[in-house]
Amino acid sequence: MPYENNPNPRDETPVEGPRGYECIQSYLKTLDGSPGVYRMLDSESRVLYVGKARNLKARVSNYSRPSGGHSGRITRMISETASMMFLTTRTETEALLLEQNLIKQLKPRYNVLLRDDKSFPNILVTKDHAFPQIRKHRGRKASKGNYYGPFASAGAVNRTLNQLQRVFLLRTCTDATFETRTRPCLLYQIKRCAAPCTGEIDKPAYAALVADAERFLSGKSTRVQEELAGKMAEAAEAMEFERAAALRDRIRALTQVQSTQGINPRTVAEADVIALHMEGGQACVQVFFIRANQNWGNRDFYPRTGAGADAAEVLEAFIGQFYGDKQPPRLLLLSNVIDNEDLMTEALSQKAERKVEIAVPQRGEKAELVAGAARNARESLARKMAESATQTKLLAGLAEAFDLPAPPQRIEVYDNSHIQGTNAVGGMIVAGPEGLMKNAYRKFNIKGVDLTPGDDFGMMKEVLTRRFERLMKEDPDRSSGTWPDLLLIDGGAGQVSAVAGIMADLGVDDIPMVGVAKGVDRDAGKEEFHRTGKRPFALRHNDPVLYFVQRLRDEAHRFAIGAHRARRAQAISATPLDDVPGVGAGRKRALLAHFGSAKAVAGANLVDLKAVDGISDSLAEAIYDFFHAN
């Protein structure tokens, strides 16, 4: 449990004083040798760096000496330090865990930061039904069943599930669909499901299929193949050629699953293989997931290197942040030694509630796995650097074409989508030096009740007003990097003029904006660009900047249409029952199954409502009152 010098840390105001070495020296007399976490802040109380220490006084003392042999990165950080904050912990392991939590929360400039921290999908075999379902699962493991993973991507899970369906014929339909089937579906016809929903297979036989699937996912694929081969031979001897052919197809599918998993290690049952490659101030970490002696895919990450951290610091920070919300495996195979291996091992073991081992193999199959991951990391970083160089050239060309003071670091593109004004949605996409920033995309459900159907100007006004009012509230000094350097609007002079008026009303009139209008015959390649107070112009038809703007506009259009379709589908499936207090998805299904439609439910009398399974007398009265309030 961490402790802080200030008894009320939320109200703590860092004490201003001299900057740099002198500032750090002033804290030494108040520190002791306790383990803990320290924060370095600049003159505006922004966190520059978060670090851990086995001995806070010793670590801070090291920063206080100009002759400490600091790297250029640490020297710059020290020169900007105007104050510090400290949290003491009982153990060094707690300090490590707290440090990684604070880094993820505060995102300090000089720390290594993992920028992609999504959860990974698993395969779930459910255990709450007589005929278990196999499906993809992501997120909290709340459903009852056995989980197998993680897989590197949804694509890796989908490919494996597709092949497992061919091998083991397990159902993938929901329980609700299972209960309502009256005849086998298409998956049964194409031999992808055993159709337990209609009794095509009995419970013991289906349970045997489930057991085989789980043995395969647990790494016992050889035994499963041998049993299938034996059954195929028996069927052939009994002249049951159709059954033998079906078993042959299942064996082929099982072989294909193994081949798509790439290299399957013989001596490593469960491990994450983590390799780092650094070049030109950038880093790529490649992670391979080995489970049940099978390669379940790989994923690359590009952590921010904290303005020049070394390989050991980058890899240690990555591991700490990567497993902050993920279950670590029994073994981590690393390409580089990390500084605090003992602390990291203890922290991961505590999280997993079992022993976790960290190793940097030098020979054998484990070393080959690490070498393969390192090669992937090197090639991935080379591709990314080439893409970044191209993106940098495009942004420079964009600045030149639109007379911008500097290449934009954040471009926001807006578009609306609706059908005659219904289910209107505004979409915003974002692009920058690293390409499309999909985690920054936003959709805006148009809420204005006084808008004329199809009023694109009114919709755009609502979207921009909501966007920039929130920006001004959350980041008034524009220091977080979430303010755009350029706005691209799908439209011509009229739209640009309207947007300029909206921005002026908001008091934000210093952000350049460009309207992208279709040219002659609305052909792509003949776009005209409109700016406030300037004549429209066009780019040559083979200009890379023109293609770049077209891709941005098309991406905004795709995103807005997708958001509109999702909203329209939701509206189509909505019923008046959605607004009835106490009626959830299960009770809604029961009511619709009993009465046939929401309209029939609304007109039902109290006695009929009470007759529905799962509807209590009090809830029946609430439903009746809801529809008969007037």
Give tens-digit pLDDT for 61-116.
Answer: 999 988 777 888 889 999 999 999 999 999 988 999 899 889 988 889 899 988 76
In the chain, CATH 1.10.150.20 sits at: 576-627
Angle among Cα 300, 147, 315 to the nearest 5 degrees reads: 30
Q: Which CATH class is domain 3-106?
A: alpha beta
| Predicted pLDDT of residue 5 | 46
| Predicted pLDDT of residue 38 | 95
pTM over 0.85: no
| Predicted pLDDT of residue 223 | 66
Spatial separation of the C-alpha atoms in residues 179 and 517, rounded to whole Å: 53
* Residue type for position 627: F
Q: How far is CA 299 from CA 83, 118, 148, 352, in A?
A: 39, 11, 17, 22
Fold of 411-569: Nucleotidyltransferase; domain 5 (3.30.420)
Spatial separation of the C-alpha atoms in residues 601 and 620, rounded to whole Å: 11
Instruction: List, for residues 385-419, the tens digit of each pLDDT value.
Output: 888 888 999 999 999 999 999 999 999 999 888 76
| Predicted pLDDT of residue 6 | 41
Q: Which ranges of the chain have pLDDT less than 70?
A: 1-17, 116-117, 219-223, 225, 253-264, 419-421, 449-454, 519-525, 571-574, 629-630
What would the CATH number be for the domain defined by 270-382?
3.30.420.340
The strand pairing partners of 276, in sequence order, are 285
CB atoms under 10 Å from CB of 490, counted, come to 22
| Predicted pLDDT of residue 3 | 44
CB 553 within 8 A of CB 413: yes
| Predicted pLDDT of residue 408 | 94
Strand, helix or coil for residue 386: helix
Instruction: List, for residues 223-268, the tens digit of each pLDDT value.
Output: 676 777 887 888 888 887 877 877 777 777 666 655 555 456 778 8
Q: How far is CA 425 from CA 414, 415, 471, in A?
A: 11, 9, 20
Spatial separation of the C-alpha atoms in residues 202 and 529, rounded to whole Å: 67
| Predicted pLDDT of residue 67 | 78
* Residue type for position 253: A
Q: Return the C-alpha torsion angle 401, 403, 406, 412, nearest 10.
A: -70
| Predicted pLDDT of residue 7 | 34
Spatial separation of the C-alpha atoms in residues 38 and 85, rounded to whole Å: 6
Strand, helix or coil for residue 238: coil
* Residue type for position 538: A
* Residue type for position 462: E
Residues 6+ apart with CB under 8 A from 101: 324
In the chain, CATH 3.30.420.340 sits at: 270-382, 411-569
> Does domain 576-627 sit in CATH 1.10.150.20?
yes
Block residue for tokens 């194409």: 190
* Residue type for position 521: D
DSSP for 315-360 reads: HHHHHHHHTTSS---SEEEESS--TTHHHHHHHHHHHHTS--EEE-
